[in-house]
Amino acid sequence: MSSFVKSLKPSFEKAIYPILVFLKDKNINPNAISLTGMVVISIGSFFVYENYNRIGAILLLLGGLFDALDGALARFANKSSSFGAFLDSTIDRLSDALPIGAIILFFSKAQDVEGVFLGLLALMFSFMVSYTKARSHSLGVDIPVGVFERTERFGTIVIFTFLGFYKLGLLIVGIGAFYTTLERIFYAKKHLS
């Protein structure tokens, strides 16, 4: 989580407090929230593929909000678990891939090689951002750096999809994720023997 997103987290959790109370009172499982978010993102991605960019972006945003709720609910309701954390991370990777994959398929259908290339660039380096952190963590070094993490990438895709500027969104995500990947590689090199 970037420092920018960390700074917004207390305000966000304060804003969603009534929702958390409702979900806790209804005994909703955080894992169900995670899965619901993925389903909504899948549907939004389908609309993006069909070039209904505005409804697609709105559904992606809604799915992203579900994704933000699951962890907050788990902490609030004392339902945090190792499996829940594993499931959330796994679903996050799918939620990263689905909208970008939809845009790649959209450009592929239109035989737009430039769009496909930008989509593959964004997808590849988005996964590298996550992989470099996970691999470094498995070797005993936590990487606290990263200017273009998941929230920034997902937000960029949602905004530029809504505006219909798919290529610009993919380019920004690709460059931002590439920079963050390098940032993490250099941090790991410095701290791993």
Residue 12 makes CB contacts below 8 A (sequence gap 6+) with 68, 72
| Whether 92 is catalytic | yes
Q: Both tokens of residue 80? A: 């945090």
Contact 161, 56 (CB under 8 A): yes
- Look up residue 133 and give its amino acid: K
Contact 1, 151 (CB under 8 A): yes
Cα(108)–Cα(126) distance, integer angstroms: 20
143: left (phi > 0), else alpha (psi -120 to 50), else beta? beta
Residue 177, Cβ neighbours under 10 Å: how many?
Answer: 28
Q: Which listed residue (92, 96, 112, 142) is catalytic?
A: 92
Residue 17, Cβ neighbours under 10 Å: how many?
Answer: 12
Q: Which residues are tagged catalytic?
A: 92
